[in-house]
Amino acid sequence: MTRATLSEVLTPALRDGYAVAGLVVLGWEDARAYVTAAEAEGLPVILQAGPGCRAHTPLPILGAMFRTLAESAKVPVVAHLDHGKTLDECRAAIDAGFTSIMFDGSALPLADNIRATAAAVRLARDNGLSCEGELGFVGYAEGTPGVGTIPSEAALFEAETDIDALAVSVGNVHLQREQAAVIDHDRLAEIGAVTRCPLVIHGGSGLTNADRALLAHRSPVCKFNIGTELRQVFGKALRQRLSDDPALFDRIAILSAVEGPLVAATKEILRGIGPIGPK
């Protein structure tokens, strides 16, 4: 199965009532584990390169890595730029082979966010790709608080940008280490009633498996961004490997220990939000 765009995996999810995982990648080991898990479950997966990943690894390398994994995978794999802040950054990701971009204008006034996001959508569409936007502001644990998405503004934002997916702020929080988010279901329902595009929950690690399943199967939420939860699995497996063999120094031998736990954790996430019944 070749690389897929965001719309190619989210359109059937919206139609059939399930969600796709947008998994935050920091390196080869986790990216490979995510695709392995997706193949085992027979489900699509979205590999996401966020700002932290891009600060560590250049976009062309990430693009080549995602492309290599996607082109050999048996399931659709989306190569997604997460939280692109400028059109130049979005353009660089497209040039590097990404199939989907997110333009994050959530810190901008509404009119400016609409204008900039619409330009990002045009850029993506001109290249046959998809674009995600954000309205409201999803806050950060131990950091900047969130600002809830206003339903009437969501309707205007979608109409003016023609966005392919909309990230909303409804109680979800980035970088939560505990599954403690309290979702404003009424606000989410109001947003869903006035928009048609798939909705996205950033900070998916802050939701319980049951909460994610409920939203995936009973709301227009079709994409969950999940990073912290899997980074914790990675860190735990890494510490255990080094504790078991303090003399171990070979990088490959050390990092290979994280793949099994990551695959298992990812499979559980994918099953929880994926289609109910036969795939």
| pLDDT value at 1 more than 60 | no
**Cβ-based burial of 128 (10 A; exposed 0-12, middle 13-18, buried ≥19):** exposed
Contact 272, 43 (CB under 8 A): no
Q: What is the pLDDT of residues 168-226, one digit of tens each?
A: 988 787 766 777 678 889 899 999 999 999 999 998 888 988 899 999 999 999 999 99
Active-site positions read 82
At 227 the pLDDT is 92
pLDDT at 117: 98
* Confidence (pLDDT) at 265: 97
Residue found under tokens 């390196």 = 27
- State mean pLDDT over 68-76: 96
Mean pLDDT of 238-248: 91
* Percentage above 90 pLDDT, the chain: 78
pLDDT recorded at residue 63: 96
Q: For residues 26 and 182, which has the higher predicted lDDT (pLDDT)?
A: 26
Measuring CA to CA, how many Å separate 36 from each of 45, 246, 270? 10, 29, 12
pLDDT tens for each residue of 110-160: 999 999 999 999 999 999 999 999 999 876 777 777 777 899 999 999 999
Specify which residues 137 forms β-bridges with: 147
Average pLDDT, the chain: 93
Query: Residue 83: is its pLDDT beyond 70?
Result: yes
**Quick check: pTM over 0.75?**
yes
Q: Which residue has the higher pLDDT, 175 or 276?
A: 276
Q: What pLDDT is recorded for position 17?
A: 96
Three-state SS annotation for the chain: CCEECHHHHHHHHHHHCCCEEEEECCCHHHHHHHHHHHHHHCCCEEEEECHHHHHHCCHHHHHHHHHHHHHCCCCCEEEEEEEECCHHHHHHHHHCCCCEEEECCCCCCHHHHHHHHHHHHHHHHHCCCEEEEEECECCECCCCCCECCCHHHHHHHHHHHCCCEEEECCCCCECCCCCCCCCCHHHHHHHHHHCCCCEEECCHHHCCHHHHHHHHHHCCEEEEEECHHHHHHHHHHHHHHHHHCCCCCCHHHHHHHHHHHHHHHHHHHHHHHCCCCCC
The pLDDT value recorded for residue 11 is 97
Contact 41, 50 (CB under 8 A): no
18-42 average pLDDT score: 97
Report the pLDDT value the prediction gives residue 180, as an integer from 0 to 100.
Answer: 64
Q: In angstroms, rounded to a whole number, what is the distance separating the alpha carbons of residues 85 and 184? A: 27
Domains in the chain, ordered, with CATH?
3-273 (3.20.20.70)
Residue 132 half-sphere exposure toward CB, CA atoms < 13 A: 34
Q: What's the confidence (pLDDT) of residue 111?
A: 97
Q: What is the pLDDT of residues 53-64, one digit of tens each?
A: 999 999 999 999
Q: What is the pLDDT of residue 115?
A: 97
